[in-house]
Amino acid sequence: MNRLLLQSREHLALLPSAPLAPREGELVLTVLCCAICRSDAKMWRHGHRDLLLPRVLGHEIVGLDQESGRLYAVWPGEGCGRCRHCLAGREHRCPAMRIIGFHRDGGLAGELLVPRRALTPLPAGLDPQLATFAEPVACVANAFSRLGPVAGQQALVVGGGVMGMLAALILVERGCQVSVLELQAAKVTRLQPLAEQAGFTLCQESTAADFDLAINCSANPAALAGAIGRLERGGRLAFFSGLEKNQQIDSNILNLVHYYELAVTGSYGPRREDMAEALAFCHRQQGLLPALVEEVVTLAEVADRLPRVLSGENLKYIVDFRPARGDVPLPAAKPEPASMPRKQAPGEVAPGEEAPGEEAPGEQAAALGLSPFLASLVAGIRRPDAEMRGRAQAKVDNKTKPLGALGRLEKLAVRLAVVTGSLEPRVDCRRLFVFAGDHGVVEEGVSAFPARVTVQMVENFLAGGAAINLFCRHYGIELAVVDIGVNGDFADHPLLRRLKVARGTANFALEAAMSRAQALTAMENGARAFLDAQAGGRCQLVGMGEMGIGNTTSATAIIAAVSGRPVAELVGRGTGVDDAGLRRKVAVIERALSLHRPPADDPLALLCSLGGYELAGICGATLAAAASGCPVVLDGIISTAAGLLAFLFAPALVDSLIAGHRSVERGQEAALQILGLEPVVDLDLRLGEGTGAAITMNLADLACRMLAEMASFDQAGVDDGGRSH
């Protein structure tokens, strides 16, 4: 027996099946046929929020129970059996649902384990190939169980793919007058004979309206809007197909739901009881269903067909295991894809090489995959004079005060002296960067605010109305706003730097957030933002702020990967998500870590798989500042995570870092422990933008003045309490 294993995104391997050991209530089903649907193709190309790797795809399954000799179709789910949804016969809504092909291995295998209660026997005489239509037919049946089509009603189907055709055939059986709209002319031409034989209308365009009911089988938001606009007052709509992500629907169209008193019902997946009805339908329609079969293929041909399935231009592909069972050729083993060059583990010696000495900074940067520009910055970062710390501490201790009486201000003064190499540091010029970028992971529901708020807040920064504008004006801090990855455009403005890499990252719950080239470009852009500003006027202290809806999720994921601590211990509420949102955020990060498995000591891999463009920009700017001898004030969890990445690239820069404030986000503390930093202030801040950094930058000016201007015991003629003895 063989199986087609999805080992990582886009990596399929045809491997021998390991022996299966059923648990109580399960059996080993010998797969006869398994259809390939767009969900399988999407998981192969883009991943899926519920996909746990490695995994065998495929959930439109027909198999044989060798013990009884019976043929079954598989309801591809397993609920808890205890929640109110399971008890009401709506197991497909169960929060603990485990889906074949997502959470359990699916049907692209010679054998698989299935719960016995998920099996529905095939009617006698039904071709197993055509029985693979049972699961999608059951999905339509579930939608119609709430839509309630009856004979004589005018029904509209939007989308003439396989699901649209199945919906049309079912509606015709129920006596409805059916019209199907399909934009692809080739598909209309190909399926016109089926439409004529079944008795429904299939066309690209139509002026018909006032339908009693509609079912949307298209992922295009415009198609859904069109379905709403064609309904009669009091009409019914089945929101059957998920839409393309991150699209908008005209509110005027949605208002029709209100004005026309439309009934809209969502539908996702089939009920278990729908499978019997679906198989009976397949048996009745054996003469028409072959028209929906694109090709019957072997397991070894699946990888080649998946792009075609994903395009939506073809009809149903079916894998039939019977003709060549046991004879499916195994291809040569494929290496795991690697987006990053492999880095040698500490102490590892390549074959034929001698053990090297300690790497120079430039060599270390090259090993981490940095560009020559970034590598040159890393090479310029050195640990400060070891004696300066003692001299600065002695000077602070000799001020006219009890030892340690000025608390963290004293520690801040010592750090500034160490970084600048001066016992009288000055931070007269202070500059703060707000790096802004959008995050694809927002579509997982990890934020209380929609992604468009990133654009709106950047516009607020440029208008001078945000908290960071007020803080910088009050403290005399120069402010710069860097668009490094916002999904929007802005008019020219004196505060704005345009260094956009892309219009937001990809959803790292499904795929890598960015490519290696994008990550390096973002880091370089961040470094140049700092260096270009320095060329226009040198500042002695820089702060790092950020703006990006969803970026606490990215930052927390990076910190979890580096620290190895449980995600649940690190995740905070970010923009203020509720309890359900918090649990969702934990689950999203855990799945992402399971999907990418980024090495804890490879900052570039961490950025690519889990990062954001603003984190990469802050990381690059921090490297540039440290190479220039400029202290860096980090803000909350996001800039702290970026500082942690910079530290992994160049450990020597840790002395240049100042933790501005203690964030209420729990993950920050884990990162600060790795960096060995203590926040200067703790004001229960959770805004971001650089507000905590701005407060600390003002305190840094005070700390420098204390070190330079406050009198010593000798200068003031005050008894030092015996300290000099």
Supply the residues annotated as catalytic.
689
Phi, psi of 369 (to 5 degrees): 85, 20
| Cα→Cα distances 162→140, 265, 277, 321, 435, Å | 11, 21, 18, 22, 46
End-to-end CA distance of the chain: 85
Instruction: Sort residue 245 into left (φ over 0), alpha (ψ -120 to 50) or beta.
Output: beta
Beta carbons within 8 Å of 336's beta carbon, 6+ residues apart: 7, 8, 11
**HSE, side-chain direction, 13 A CA sphere, residue 14:** 17
Between helices 134-147 and 274-284, what is the axis angle to 10°? 110
Rounded Cα gap, residues 574 and 312, in angstroms: 38
Strand partners, 544: 433
CA dihedral sign of residues 397, 399, 405, 408? negative
Inter-residue contact 544 to 646 (CB < 8 Å): no
Rounded Cα gap, residues 145 and 147, in angstroms: 6
Rounded Cα gap, residues 492 and 472, in angstroms: 21
| Cα→Cα distances 340→16, 514, 602, 606, Å | 29, 12, 9, 10
DSSP string, 532-565: HHHHTS--SEEEEEEE-TTHHHHHHHHHHHHH--
> Could you tell me how many residues make up the chain?
725
Nearest to 547 by CA among 434, 633, 648: 434
Nearest to 435 by CA among 622, 712, 627, 577: 622
The Cβ of residue 462 has, within 10 Å, a number of other Cβ atoms equal to 19
Strand partners, 264: 237
